[in-house]
């Protein structure tokens, strides 16, 4: 295997230019954030936000040129629409994207941009958590299964760029197919649910060492450069916290509503409050709170043990004036089925744990239906029995 380094990649990219461009992409300063890790390459192509769509063929050209280099195993080239700040500063770092200003300035811009709908998608449900380790992705995957079992057309997007877990939980792997013109990506599908994740595009053990603007651009591409088709509901598994991914979604996507997942511990509930306040600040309706790992039922004697405490999420929901959607027990089978790529709602649909997810999905379905009606959106009635 040939040695692949930044200088060699830059030299190859110097040979890439658009059909009407007198200069190559490197000379024009379009290539930013180049990362090289054991043959896996990632970089951004920063362009004028007014002409972002025009530059997609050039992004693909850059990606193909680097991929053809000896020793390259994978290439992820992300198109970032860079927008200059009102008062340019010489020598400053580039960042930001269409509709935002990047960095801390972007944090103050809370959803005033024109929001772009996703063709064919009637409702978008964001699944979030204040902190990691509370079982948010497991909850998102099983809620998607519950919606699908009710007969709805469902999509599931993994917006956790740094730690994508949806592919494993859905039993999916490999790169997704592209449309015949090469301009968009076809989502993978399992259990009747269409799925898309950055995890399909990079090797499982490759770290995503990306700054905020790259993450934000990647999320936009997962939303708008994927052929989702006709969906009744698209669930978006957000990363934990209140960072770039959440801001990107709130600014650019008409989210129908959000749900926050937590465990009963006080430390997790503190972050729930932050998450709820973040969604309210960016005018995203909060449908409620789910308490995961709420209790443990002994499979032998049926004894109920509240290992992490109990009722904290319900109390927090009351304090924050939002609904408590239900509780999910802690059980080994939920984790085992997730690790095996067969979510428990599909593996044991008549079991107690699957029914817990289905009950919460039913409540969420009613809330989605009401939100769509309030927005005067024509959509089929979402009913889960």
* Residue 306 in domain: yes
Q: 328's torsion region: left (phi>0), alpha (psi -120 to 50) or beta?
A: beta
293 or 341, which is more confident: 341
Residues 31 and 153 in one domain: no
Read off the pLDDT of residues 133-165 as tens digits, 9 standing for 90 and up: 788 999 999 999 999 999 999 999 999 888 889
Beta-carbon contacts of 379 under 8 Å, excluding residues fewer than 6 positions away, are 122, 123, 232, 369, 372
Of 65-74, 208-217, 247-256, 351-360, the least confident = 208-217
Coil, strand, or helix at residue 244? Answer: helix
Residue 92 confidence (pLDDT) = 33
Mean pLDDT, the chain, rounded, equals 80
* Residue 146 in domain: yes
Read off the pLDDT of residues 246-300 as tens digits, 9 standing for 90 and up: 877 877 788 999 999 988 866 567 778 888 888 888 889 999 999 888 756 666 6
* Residue 281 in domain: yes
Residues 17 and 135 in one domain: no
Residue 1 confidence (pLDDT) = 42
pLDDT at 23 over 80: yes
Render 254-286 in DSSP notation, one character per residue: ---EEEEEE-SSHHHHHHHHHHHHHHHHTTPPE
* Residue 117 in domain: no
Residues 171 and 51 in one domain: no
Nearest 5°: the CA angle 248, 252, 254 is 115
The CATH number assigned to the domain holding 301 equals 3.40.50.300
Residue 91 confidence (pLDDT) = 33
Of 94-98, 201-205, 279-283, the least confident = 94-98
* Residue 88 in domain: no
At 288, give phi and psi (nearest 5°): 150, -170
Cα separation, 325 vs 69, in Å, equals 52
Q: Which two tokens stand for residue 191?
A: 């259990």
> Which sign does the torsion angle of CA 81, 85, 90, 92 carry?
negative
Q: Which two tokens stand for residue 284?
A: 């995203």
Residues 200 and 317 in one domain: yes
Distance of CA 330 to the CA centre of its chain: 25
Of 57, 58, 74, 48, the C-alpha closest to 24 is 58
Beta-carbon contacts of 16 under 8 Å, excluding residues fewer than 6 positions away, are 24, 25, 58, 61, 62, 65
- Give the Å distances, CA to CA, from 107 to 18, 203, 260, 281: 34, 31, 21, 11
Beta-carbon contacts of 30 under 8 Å, excluding residues fewer than 6 positions away, are 45, 46, 47, 58
The arithmetic mean of pLDDT across residues 36-53, rounded, is 75
* Residue 319 in domain: yes
At 325, give phi and psi (nearest 5°): -90, -20
332-340 and 136-149 are packed helices; what angle lies between their axes, rounded to 10 degrees? Answer: 80
The pTM of the full predicted model, rounded to 2 decimals, is 0.70
- Residue 348 belongs to domain spanning: 124-374
Residues 304 and 180 in one domain: yes
* Residue 73 in domain: yes
Residue 248 confidence (pLDDT) = 74
Of 5-9, 177-181, 304-308, 332-336, the least confident = 304-308
Coil, strand, or helix at residue 378? Answer: coil
Residues 74 and 129 in one domain: no
Residues 329 and 207 in one domain: yes
State the total domains in the chain: 2
Residues 45 and 140 in one domain: no
Asked whether the beta carbons of 154 and 369 are under 8 A apart, the reply is no
Cα separation, 271 vs 308, in Å, equals 16
Of 218, 224, 272, 270, the C-alpha closest to 245 is 218
């Amino acid at each position: 295997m040939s040695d692949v380094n930044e200088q060699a990649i830059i030299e190859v990219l110097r040979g890439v230019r658009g059909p009407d461009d007198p200069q190559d992409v490197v000379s024009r300063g379009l290539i930013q954030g180049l990362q090289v890790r054991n043959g896996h390459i990632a970089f951004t192509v920063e362009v004028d936000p007014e002409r972002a769509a025009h530059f997609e063929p050039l992004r693909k050209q850059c990606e193909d040129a680097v991929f053809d280099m000896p020793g390259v195993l994978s290439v992820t080239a992300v198109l970032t629409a860079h927008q200059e700040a009102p008062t340019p500063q010489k020598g400053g770092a580039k960042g930001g994207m269409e509709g935002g200003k990047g960095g801390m300035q972007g944090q103050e811009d809370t959803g005033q941009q024109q929001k772009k709908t996703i063709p064919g998608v009637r409702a978008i449900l964001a699944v979030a958590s204040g902190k990691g380790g509370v079982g948010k992705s497991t909850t998102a995957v099983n809620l998607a299964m519950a919606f699908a079992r009710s007969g709805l057309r469902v999509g599931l997007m993994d917006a956790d760029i740094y730690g994508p877990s949806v592919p494993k939980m859905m039993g999916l792997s490999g790169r997704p197919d592209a449309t015949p013109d090469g301009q968009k990506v076809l989502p993978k599908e399992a259990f009747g649910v269409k799925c898309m994740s950055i995890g399909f595009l990079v090797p499982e053990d490759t770290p995503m060492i990306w700054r905020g603007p790259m993450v934000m651009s990647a999320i936009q591409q997962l939303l708008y450069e994927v052929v989702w088709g006709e969906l009744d509901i698209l669930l978006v598994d957000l990363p934990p916290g209140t960072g770039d991914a959440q801001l990107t979604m709130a600014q650019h996507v008409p989210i129908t509503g959000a749900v926050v997942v937590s465990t009963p511990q006080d430390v997790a509930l503190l972050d729930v409050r932050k998450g709820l306040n973040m969604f309210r600040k960016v005018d995203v309706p909060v449908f409620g709170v789910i308490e995961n790992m709420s209790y443990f039922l002994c499979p032998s004697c049926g004894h109920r043990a509240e290992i992490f405490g109990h009722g904290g999420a319900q109390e927090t929901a009351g304090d924050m004036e939002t609904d408590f959607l239900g509780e999910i027990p802690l059980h080994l089978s939920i984790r085992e089925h997730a690790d095996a790529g067969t979510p428990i709602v599909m593996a044991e649909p008549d079991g107690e744990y699957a029914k817990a997810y289905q009950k919460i999905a039913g409540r969420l379905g009613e809330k989605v239906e009401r939100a769509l009606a309030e927005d005067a959106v024509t959509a089929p009635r979402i009913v889960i029995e």
